[in-house]
Amino acid sequence: MAIKGRYFMTDHSSIYTLGKEPYEIVRAFCPDICSKMNEFSIEILVTRGGRIGSGMGALLEGLWGYMANQLLFDENEHFFDIAWMPDNQYNDFTIVEKNVSWNPDDRTGELFRIEAKSMNRQADESKAHFDVLKKELGKNDSLLILVWEWAAIDKTHRYPKVIDYYFGRALDVVELRDTLHVLRGGSFVSSSNCPDGCNPATCPHDGEPLNASRIRERLSGPDSTKGNKVSYAANFGGLVRMLKTSNTSAKSAFQKYRSTDTPQEAFISFIFRNYPDEEKNHYGINQLRAVARQRNIDPAGLSKEDLYDLLKHDNPNRCIEELRYCN
């Protein structure tokens, strides 16, 4: 049966019956997509060794798109496809309406976009950056992050296994990222007051981030804000780094997000459970001691390292829940 018009306005599509937006449907499929990826990888992407920085992350991001398309296609009830953004160096996807012509320039036929990132859990620090500007995002544009590691199949063979993922609205992460950026002393260019002295009507720099030293964070920032040694700072939007808080006001804003059930909290917990050192570094020993006392553990004489390990002992793959509510 041909579906006319935009399907969420049609009468009988299963999506309408489900009462879910396409964003919610793709999100609901994420666990299945990751399982399917791992089934594929354990068959095909088997290797001896397993180098970090092998380009495997980019391959996995692409694989997510193929598997998502296959699952959504297999279902045959969903009236959209996953398309690759053309002319883009990353694996970024667009959810487009099936059988509707698509124009990426004006977003005709698009439902929402997905920016895909991957992080290797065994790497010291993730290089993944999410530095898209707020003004470039639509309501349901999403951020997908795949966390993977080299998992052993036998004594000599390994495969890249997806062990966790994040899928959420990009604007929610942007809110957290931009709030902490400003509290660290950073700022955003306003076209009405551009450091390059642009005409406000044509300034292309509106919303570009500058760091606390007024150096541009992205190559596309104002020319007059280049650094001395580097053309741009490139710290903005580091998926792990964006959570750093160096002063009281940043810490208190951070804890405000953490102590509520917000999408921002979901993102922070996602990073902390996959990079526990970040969680440990974020909190002081007094906060860990307070949690220990809540659990009737005497923290006397324990180093921060030991204390953290002890508190994580029961479930190393979870965040320390009590730290969400500490002062």
Q: How far is the CB of 222 from Zn ion (least distance, A)?
A: 5
User: Residue 212: in which H helix or E strand, if any?
Assistant: none
Q: Which is nearer to Zn ion, 193 or 247 (CB)?
A: 193
- 196 binding Zn ion? (CB under 5 A): yes
Q: How far is the CB of 270 from Zn ion (least distance, A)?
A: 35
Q: Which is nearer to Zn ion, 193 or 249 (CB)?
A: 193
Taking the mean position of all CA atoms in its chain, how far away is CA 11? 35
Q: Give 216's DSSP letter.
A: B
Which residue carries 């390990």 as its tokens? Answer: 309
- 216 binding Zn ion? (CB under 5 A): no
- The answer to whether the beta carbons of residues 240 and 278 sit under 8 Å apart is yes
Q: How far is the CB of 90 from Zn ion (least distance, A)?
A: 25
- 133 binding Zn ion? (CB under 5 A): no
Instruction: Figure out which of the listed residues 34, 203, 242, 311 binds Zn ion, where binding follows CB under 5 A.
Output: 203
Q: Which is nearer to Zn ion, 161 or 218 (CB)?
A: 218
Q: How far is the CB of 194 from Zn ion (least distance, A)?
A: 3
DSSP string, 164-193: EEEEEEHHHHHHHHHHHHHHTT-EE--GGG
Cβ neighbors of 189 (< 8 A, separation 6 or more) are: 195, 203, 205, 206, 207, 208, 209, 210, 221, 222
Which residues are paired to 150 by β-bridges?
A: 160
Q: Which is nearer to Zn ion, 19 or 197 (CB)?
A: 197
Stretch that binds Zn ion, among 205-213, 237-245, 249-257, 276-284 (CB under 5 A): 205-213
Q: How far is the CB of 203 from Zn ion (least distance, A)?
A: 3
Angle formed at CA 141 by CA 138 and CA 147, multiple of 5 degrees: 155
- 194 binding Zn ion? (CB under 5 A): yes
Q: Which is nearer to Zn ion, 65 or 221 (CB)?
A: 221
Instruction: Figure out which of the listed residues 151, 198, 266, 310 binds Zn ion, where binding follows CB under 5 A.
Output: 198
- 223 binding Zn ion? (CB under 5 A): no
Give the pairing type, strands 92-97 and 110-120.
antiparallel
Angle formed at CA 28 by CA 22 and CA 32, multiple of 5 degrees: 125
Instruction: Figure out which of the listed residues 205, 216, 218, 282 binds Zn ion, where binding follows CB under 5 A.
Output: 205
Stretch that binds Zn ion, among 163-171, 187-195, 238-246, 255-263 (CB under 5 A): 187-195
Q: Which is nearer to Zn ion, 15 or 203 (CB)?
A: 203
- 136 binding Zn ion? (CB under 5 A): no
Q: Which is nearer to Zn ion, 188 or 283 (CB)?
A: 188
Radius of gyration of the chain (CA): 22
Give dist(CA 226, CA 234) in Å, integer: 11
Q: How far is the CB of 231 from Zn ion (least distance, A)?
A: 16
Q: Nearest-CA neighbor of 217 among 170, 178, 173?
A: 178
User: Edge-to-edge, what's the strand order for the sheet holding 110-120?
Assistant: 47-48, 157-169, 142-152, 110-120, 92-97, 80-84
Stretch that binds Zn ion, among 48-56, 61-69, 112-120, 196-204 (CB under 5 A): 196-204
Chain positions contacting Zn ion, by CB under 5 A: 194, 196, 198, 203, 205
